[in-house]
Amino acid sequence: MQLALFDLDNTLLSGDSDYEWTLHLVNKGVLDRDVFEHRNMEFYEQYKAGTLDIFEFLDFQLQSLADNSRADLEAWHAEFMATTIVPMLAQPARDLVKRHQDQGHLCALVTATNSFVTGPICRELNIPHLIATIPAQQNGQFTGKARGTPAFREGKITRVEDWLEAMGLWWGNFERSWFYSDSHNDLPLLLRVSDPVAVDPDQALHAHAQTAGWTILTLHR
């Protein structure tokens, strides 16, 4: 048995779905441009710098889910998929996923971005399992808070291990395990698998991958 884990933003996707989702709502007039465009960029820069407070970010990002109806959110997301996300899913990324699936590997998308945003993207990629930050709901309405451990940094290991445990599995069941990521924020999970792969990596991850002799893969450049 073999395991293939994929980061989403700037890995399979040639962009950041969290960042682009907020821009989509700003451009639709759902969110105030003067407030949200600047704050969105601030959080994105903090993420790239490795200084992001995930709980502060989630308070920002998940509030728009709580403030709007599910019907409106899903309609806006369908537009978002068509106009923003599908054009950022390059064929080499789709082919990478399919190669693992064709070999019968257990595949999952592992992303810090919340599952409302990423669920349809996961389905578009035909990946059967999604491990994402979960926006809490009550009677179908989002609360604006996260449920459980965010799938961020070390939290990705926690969430992956919980997922495996729920299926009666653990790391030792796999002859090989891959994790594909672009970001130094994902070093904890990259260090946990047998075959870490840096995909169009940021500067810090590129340096680490070179030193460690990891595979460096280009999907978008």
Active site residue 7: yes
Active site residue 9: yes
CA–centroid distance for 157 within its chain: 14
> In angstroms, rounded to a whole number, what is the distance separating the alpha carbons of residues 208 and 101?
28
Task: Kindly calculate the radius of gyration of the chain based on its CA atoms and give it in whole angstroms.
Answer: 17
Q: Tell which residue, 124, 123, 118, 103, has the closest CA to residue 176.
A: 103
Q: Which of 9, 16, 18, 182 is catalytic?
A: 9
| Side chain identity at residue 80, one-letter code | F
> In angstroms, rounded to a whole number, what is the distance separating the alpha carbons of residues 130 and 123?
9
Strand partners for 3: 106, 177
Q: Which of 7, 16, 182, 186 is catalytic?
A: 7
| Helix (H) / strand (E) containing 164 | helix 154-166
Q: Residue 26: CB partners within 8 Å, gap ≥ 6?
A: 32, 33, 36, 37, 40
**Catalytically active residues, by annotation:** 7, 9
